[in-house]
Chains A and B, each alone.
Chain A
Amino acid sequence: MSAPALTGALAEHPALSQWVAFPAPGKVTIFSGKVEIGQGVLTAMVQLAAEELDVAAERIAIEAGDTDLTPNEGFTAGSQSMQFGGVALRQACAEVRAAFLRHAAQKLGCDAGELTVADGRILRQGNATGADYWTLAAEVSLAAKATGAAPRKPASDYTVVGQNAARLDLPAKVFGAPAFIHDLKLDGMWHARVVRQPRRGASIAAIDEAAIRRAARGGINFVRHGNFLAIVGSDETAVEAAAIAAEAHVTWAGVEPLNPLQQQAASLLQQPSIDRTVGPPPAEARGAAHHEATYSRGYLAHASIAPSCGLAEFRDGHLTVWTHAQGPFPLRANLAQTLGLDAQNISVRHVQGPGCYGHNGADDAAADAAIIALQMPGKPIRVRWRREEEFCFEPVSSAMVVKVRAALDDAGRPTDWTAEIWSGTHSARPGSGNLLGAQALPSPPPEPAPHDVPDVAAGGAVRNGTPLYDIPAKRFIHHLVPETPVRTSALRGLGAMPNVFAIECFIDELAERAGQDPVAYRLSITSDRRARAVIEKAAAMAGWTPGLAAGSGRGRGIGVARYKDRAAYAAVVVELEAEEAIRLTRMWCAADAGLVVNPDGAINQLEGGMIQSASWVLKEQVQLATTGIASRDWETYPVLRFSEVPEISVELIASDSDVPLGVGEATAGPTAAAIGNAVAHALGARIRDLPLTRERIMAALLAGG
């Protein structure tokens, strides 16, 4: 019998020593290329390792996202850490356990099948053998490669996986200990701020250094490399004051003004686009009934709670970079290219940062620090972006327009479905885009050719662009708009949120046309067993009863999706009150996330996704001015506050799958759709453009009334 093929990161890094070490008696270290971005991944990884090694979780330390220490697992993104990173680590641990048991069996002159492990101690038919991982560690070479043949523990034997585990990183955060990259202090460190190039191609015309020094009220230095200008010094207050003053005292040439009207998603329709169609050719029955509707969403900021931070030191020809970016290895590759260094001469270390929901300014802040450090060998440099800098210069999530058209049968069910999707790219991460600071350097790298996340990776704009319902013919038309007014990249779910919003609002419109209840209608066109289960469960949790009249000012709605068509299923029901403004009163979610490693952690992520999505839908839109992004702070870019968050219930549906499915992005689309449908139900009029501002509500009421 041949061993199952190794897949993913374990195939690329088969040496067991890249995943597991026994550094001291009673201690285990595991290594993961996936990083903590606020989602609790480290805790879940430790649970997986504890289970498969049969070692108490307390003995396990984890190293994550360090180019010198850990496997290269690309980006921590796309709700894939458990599904791929976790599965790789789990198999590596099973292989380690098997290697020790083989060796112990040989020593003991018994069959490996007689041996088990209990908290690292090797037992023979339940009795102590005196051997354990640590006494045998010197004899078992972990340089051996994984084969895929080692048996994993059956899920029925799990005692750690599937149990709630307290987050390992939470105590430091509750007691105010150093926990974040912002808290990192290097000996002799200088603070730095970058005077941002307002637009790609802009050049410095004049610097009023004297005025900036006066504003600093303390010692500062200028570091200039092409059109990359930074202010550095030992006194953070002086450096910050200088950076603020520099906005008025550095003059730039070649700054093309923006057209603020481009903040409207509809402006995408006027832009040139690269078009493609995926799916069967249209075969709509002549004379069949049709329904068509167009939905949109504006540009969104990640708006992490703190601005990005990066540290770097260039010493003896070696560059060390500390970052909270999602991909230490891809960042290293891009830094090597940008700085003209060999990747071997760069170490990138992940340090936790503020909650990360996609490609924010973290990579760019690290690059800023690296560029400055190279100009000042031997001097550790800490760059912390200003709040305004993060809002104005982080990549944002593209606005999107989604037009859905369906042919309907006599019962009002869709027989032919087309989603037409307009969007900028959702992919400008290191490797597919440029680091911000690099564009100001003397020979800026060329702009990458227009592209988006490939369909094999679930797409960017087209992510979740196809409904999970039973429809004989489904297709999408993708209009990739290469020129957006501001840089766009990945935000939690990428295109999934606008697409699921459009699909699921459209389905409600079809249900209404057919005179059917939204839940019953969905079930009538869904054969996917797992999708049906989450719909039924969420409806039951919410006490869904058909036939509530629309237009009463109170509404409820449902939305459902399987994220990326391959990760977790989630159905969300929202109850709200809508008059001039919208007040969320309750939200419920049922999710099927396959094998759940840490149920409490998964629920936390699902709930967080619901709240963030609610914030996007009700409040958020990046504002543009001729000078750039105008929503520069929390007053001009408001997010949901404590008083606005409704009570939420989340339940996980027990699954027979042994594959954990990512949950971080699973609720964003269903929540947006459920709110859209609930608002339509409450008002008796539908709003198809996000965010659901007061102006749009009033307009809908006037049009409907």
Chain B
Amino acid sequence: MAQFDLTVNGRAVSVTVANEETSLLTVLRNELDLVGARFGCGLEQCGCCMVLIDGAPTKSCAKPIWSVAGKSVTTVEGLGTPERPHPLQRALLDEQAGQCGYCLSGIIISAKALLDRNPAPTRAEIASALDDNICRCGSHNRILRAVERAAAAQRQGAAPGEAP
């Protein structure tokens, strides 16, 4: 058994795992009941499990828990709630940008990381930032429009959610 302390969505947590190689994604989903980051491949290829680690978008499915000790992790649950949605969440709903929706958690995280470093991205820059995320249903254009809409809303000073 090994114990690791980290911050998840602004909250200090301590997790105990039998195997320190246990992935961050498995800890989030199975130990912390945060299922927003989804399992897609376990191979760091599809982006469904994307989270922010100290602000950097990172695939969590093969990220060993020991490597995030002492760090700050943000998942989609940490961005907003139905009552106080993050502009990206609001924009995705406004654009009805999804079909099965399985990829959206990871896409929201990738898009947040983009908007944090580039508040006025072009369509091509958004697409490029999302190339690490696979959408299989073909909602790409709606998602791109939603990110543009969220960027515009943020620039106009719409109240952000509970984003750190």
Chain A interface (Cβ < 8 Å from any Cβ of B): 37-40, 164, 166-167, 169-171, 173-180, 182-183, 217-218, 235-238, 240-241, 303-307, 352-356, 384, 386-387, 600-601, 604-605, 607-612, 633-635, 639-643, 645, 647-648
- Residue pairs across A and B with Cβ atoms less than 8 A apart, 23 shown, are A40-B99, A166-B96, A169-B101, A176-B37, A176-B75, A176-B76, A177-B35, A237-B21, A238-B18, A238-B19, A241-B19, A305-B134, A305-B137, A306-B38, A352-B100, A386-B42, A387-B42, A387-B43, A607-B138, A610-B138, A642-B144, A643-B131, A645-B141
**Interface contact B136-A355, CB-CB below 8 Å:** yes
Q: With A218-B18, A647-B141 known to touch, is A180 a contact of B98 (CB < 8 Å)?
A: no
User: Are B93 and A174 interface neighbours, CB within 8 A?
Assistant: yes
Q: With A and B bound together, what is the CA distance between A354 and B41 in angstroms? A: 12
CB-CB nearest in chain A for B137:
A355
Q: Are A177 and B36 in contact (CB under 8 A)?
A: yes
- The 8 A CB mask of B124-152 against A (1 = contact, 0 = none) is 10111011011111111111100000000
Q: How far is the CB of A373 from chain B (nearest CB, A)?
A: 20
Do the beta carbons of A173 and B101 come within 8 Å of each other? yes
Chain A CB count within 10 A is highest, among B26, B96, B103, for B96
Other than A174-B93, A176-B76, A611-B138, give 7 A-B pairs with Cβ distance below 8 A.
A38-B101, A167-B96, A178-B35, A180-B102, A182-B38, A236-B26, A237-B23
| Contact residues, B103-125 vs A (CB, 8 A) | 103-105, 108, 124
B-side interface residues toward A, CB under 8 Å? 17-19, 21-23, 26, 29-30, 34-43, 45-46, 48, 75-77, 80-82, 85, 89, 92-93, 96, 98-105, 108, 124, 126-128, 130-131, 133-144
Using known A-B contacts A355-B99, A643-B128, determine if residue A604 contacts B139 with beta carbons closer than 8 Å.
yes
Q: Residues of B contacting A218 with CB < 8 Å?
A: 18-19
- A-B pairs under 8 A by CB, number: 178
- A306 and B45 CA atoms in complex are apart in Å by 12
The CA of A34 and the CA of B17, in the complex, are separated in Å by 41
Bound CA–CA A641/B35 (angstroms): 25
Option from B38, B108, B124, B141 in Cβ contact (under 8 Å) with A648: B141
B41 x A38 contact (CB < 8 A): no
Question: Once the chains are docked, how many angstroms separate the CA of A173 from the CA of B100?
Answer: 8
Cβ contact of A174, chosen from B98, B133, B141, cutoff 8 A: B98
Per CB-CB distance, the 3 closest pairs between chain A and chain B, nearest first, are A176-B36, A38-B100, A173-B101
Alpha-carbon distance between A136 and B65 when the two chains are bound, in angstroms? 58
Q: List B contacts of A604 (CB < 8 A).
A: 96, 99, 139, 142
A235 and B18 contacting across the interface, CB-CB below 8 Å = yes
Question: Contact: A173 with B142, CB < 8 Å?
Answer: no
Please tell me if the beta carbons of A237 and B36 are within 8 angstroms of each other in the complex: no
- Beyond A218-B19, A642-B133, whether A236 also contacts B30 by CB under 8 A is yes
Cα–Cα, bound, A353→B99 (Å): 11
A611 — which chain B residues lie within 8 A by C-beta? 138, 140
Report if A612-B133 is in contact (Cβ < 8 Å); known contacts: A174-B108, A217-B19, A305-B103: no
B139–A608 touching, CB < 8 Å = yes
Of B35, B40, B103, B135, the contact of A176 (CB 8 Å cutoff): B35
Residues of B within 8 A of A647 (CB): 141
A174→B19 contact, CB < 8 A: no
Write out the residue numbers on chain A whose beta carbons fall within 8 Å of the beta carbon of B124.
Answer: 643
C-alpha gap A586/B26 in the complex (Å)? 40
B131 CB, nearest partner CB in chain A, Å: 5
Contact residues in A for B142 (Cβ distance below 8 Å): 604, 607
Are B136 and A175 neighbours in the complex by a CB distance under 8 Å?
no
Q: Are the C-beta atoms of B99 and A387 separated by less than 8 Å?
A: no
Contact A355 B80 (CB under 8 A): no
CA distance A303 to B103 in the complex (A): 13
- B104 lies within 8 A of A173 (CB): yes
Across the interface, A612 reaches (CB within 8 A) one of B46, B126, B131, B137, namely: B137
A354 contacts B102, C-beta separation under 8 Å:
yes
Q: Please determine whether B82 and A639 come into contact, CB atoms closer than 8 angstroms.
A: no
Residue of A167, A171, A178, A354 touching B82 (CB-CB under 8 A): A171
Q: Is the CB of A174 within 8 A of B92?
A: yes
Are B99 and A38 in contact, with the CB atoms below 8 A? yes
Q: Which of B18, B30, B41, B127 contacts A643 (CB 8 A)?
A: B127
Distance (Å) between the CB of A241 and the closest chain B CB? 8
Contact of B100 among A174, A177, A236, A355 (CB under 8 A): A355
B38 surroundings in chain A (CB, below 8 A):
180, 182, 306
Q: Measured between alpha carbons, how far is A519 from B46 in the docked complex, in Å?
A: 39
Is B135 within 8 A of A175, CB to CB? no
CA distance A164 to B93 in the complex (A): 13
**Cβ of B44 to closest chain A Cβ, rounded Å:** 10
Q: Whole-angstrom distance from the CB of B93 to the nearest CB of chain A?
A: 6
Asked if B96 and A170 make an inter-chain contact with CB atoms under 8 angstroms apart, the answer reads yes
* Chain A residue, CB-CB nearest to B80: A175
Please judge, given known A-B contacts A305-B103, A608-B99, A608-B137, whether A175 and B36 are in contact too, CB under 8 Å: yes
Whether B134 and A634, one on each chain, are in contact in the complex, defined by CB atoms closer than 8 angstroms, is yes
Contact A600 to B26, CB < 8 A, known contacts A611-B140, A643-B127 = no
